[in-house]
Amino acid sequence: MHEWTEETEKLAAGVLQYTTERLHLRPVPLDGPRTPAQLAAEAGATVTAAGIGGSEALRIFAEVLAPACISIDHPRYFSFIPCAPTPASTLFDLVVGASSIYGGSWMEGAGAVHAENEALAWLIELAGLPESAGGVFVQGGTLANLSALVAARHHDRSRRQAAGRALPERYAIAASTEAHSSVGSAAAVMDVDIIGIEPDRDGRLTGEGLARALARSALESPGRAPFAVVATAGTTNLGIVDDLSSVAEVAKTADLWLHVDGAYGAAALAVPARRHLFAGIERADSFVVDPHKWLFAPFDCAALVYRQPELAKAAHSQHAAYLEPLRTGQEWSPSDYAVHLTRRARGLPFWFSLACYGTDAYCEAIERTLEVAQYAASRVRALDYLELICDPVLSIVAFYRRGWEDAEYYRWSEALLSSGVGFVVPTSHRGRTAIRLAVVNPRSSESDIDTVLASLA
Ligand SMILES: Cc1ncc(COP(=O)(O)O)c(C=O)c1O
């Protein structure tokens, strides 16, 4: 099985041919889910004692399995947060797989970790954190948020213990009610409370709102200590950026760790004209931005950055007899900075693409998506059967279809997918069902927007 045979040679050609053909498709087919029974019937038994052979397995993938997966890079995939990897990043993903790199430690993956750190350095510079900041590419924004918050709590505990102060009865994280669901999930995993803060009229968490919520929490739950605040730089539902400056001010006064969740939105830091939206991010203790969202890297790739990486290392380093040889004293080992140990060098496809095209190309591609989002908002405003929820701050456009009940939104969404036109799932805003277009694919055009909006008439 590990020998390179003529069969393997054919398989290599087949895999490379499939890959290049898939990358050439314009547009890619949208495709869509099938039932377990359909897939079982069409794919047949694939895992057998004798094996079905590489060519047959690849045929089944190409003809049965891949068409049962929605193409996230389709130009009319506007649901959730899509992903539109560059050809260079996708191709390099193959190289990463072929290179058998252990991306957890400096000793084993120094070259890969160096390149990943170059990519992180660009993000650190965009955010305005000091050069001494550093971090790691993890699987997604969820794991990044959890890892940052674990580091924050560890830091608080260590400081209390060092000062001989008692630990609180309960720990808590302060966050807007509009924060991503992964923040609540991190709190549940960590068994800490959430101090939920209503955003202001524009949907933003502000320093004033944070200060009020902290004061109320101190009165109502005196035994509970907040240790971190999560601000969002680009909410998932509407793309709203919290008032990071005022939140940072209050967080610093209250001696709280400031974590900025820019998993989706912080990519817009690459566009100079939008950078003002993120003023205050430079004061964050940690932030996340996902290259697999709006920075054109394939799944899965989230960049997690710490102002003081040594605080994260203190929280996350794993110690075991068999791991000690990795500790040479000078090493920068990515596994020290999140809740993980073994890791794929998943930042490499992003690094390769950045190196290949240059950062200006990133700025242009993001600007293009912002332009298309603005176009979508202007069309929604102009069409009398639609009602815009708010002007898009970034590249998410949310609106209502006047006169529709919930069920009509869902019927429309299903028909759009089953007809192969597009993938747009409903969301809700303030309890009312709505439509939401997330534009992160530079290949999504004005005419793709027109097609979707026309289908709502
Ligand atoms: C703001 C924000 N934070 C966190 C996440 C979670 O990221 P992931 O799905 O990569 O875990 C998302 C996902 O859309 C997000 O929009």
Report pLDDT digits (tens) over 159-216: 999 999 999 999 999 999 999 999 999 999 999 999 999 999 999 999 999 999 999 9
Q: Enumerate the domain spans of the chain.
A: 1-30+33-69, 96-357, 359-454
Q: Is 290 in the pocket of ligand 1 (CB under 6 A)?
A: yes
For a mutational test of ligand 1's pocket, the pick from 142, 230, 288, i.e. the residue with the most ligand atoms closer than 8 A to its C-beta, is: 142
Q: Give me the mean pLDDT over the 418-430 stretch.
A: 97
Cβ neighbours for 229, distance < 8 A, ≥ 6 positions apart:
173, 174, 175, 210, 247, 250, 251, 256, 257, 258, 259
pLDDT of residue 27: 87
Ligand 1 atom 5 nearest Cα: 141
Residue 252 phi, psi dihedral angles, 5° rounding: -70, -45
What confidence tier does 277 reach under pLDDT thresholds 50, 70, 90? very high
Condensed to tens digits (0 to 9), the pLDDT of residues 135-160 reads 999 999 999 999 999 999 999 999 99
For a mutational test of ligand 1's pocket, the pick from 78, 145, 180, i.e. the residue with the most ligand atoms closer than 8 A to its C-beta, is: 180
pLDDT of residue 331: 81
Tell me, in angstroms, the distance from the centre of ligand 1 to residue 27's CA. 26
Phi-psi region of 147 (alpha: psi -120 to 50; beta: other; left: phi over 0): alpha
pLDDT of residue 329: 75
What radius of gyration do the chain's Cα atoms show? Answer: 23
Q: Is 180 in the pocket of ligand 1 (CB under 6 A)?
A: yes
Beta strand residue intervals within 47-133, DSSP E? none
Tell me, in angstroms, the distance from the centre of ligand 1 to residue 281's CA. 18
For a mutational test of ligand 1's pocket, the pick from 260, 290, 395, i.e. the residue with the most ligand atoms closer than 8 A to its C-beta, is: 290
User: Which strand (E) or helix (H) includes residue 388?
Assistant: strand 386-388
Work out which ligand 1 atom sits closest to the CA atom of 139.
Answer: 10
CATH number given to 96-357? 3.40.640.10
**Residues β-bridged to residue 176:** 197
Condensed to tens digits (0 to 9), the pLDDT of residues 5-61 reads 999 999 999 999 999 999 999 889 999 999 999 999 999 999 999 999 999 999 999
CATH for the 359-454 domain, from 1.10.10.10, 3.40.50.450, 3.90.1150.170, 3.40.50.1100: 3.90.1150.170
**Residues β-bridged to residue 305:** 135, 287
User: Which strand (E) or helix (H) includes residue 414?
Assistant: helix 406-418
Ligand 1 atom 6 nearest Cα: 141
Tell me, in angstroms, the distance from the centre of ligand 1 to residue 265's CA. 10
Q: Cis omega before residue 27 (within 30°)? A: yes
Work out which ligand 1 atom sits closest to the CA atom of 141.
Answer: 7
Instruction: Name residue, tokens 């600007």.
Output: 367
CA dihedral 146, 370, 297, 122 (to 10 degrees): -70
pLDDT of residue 184: 98
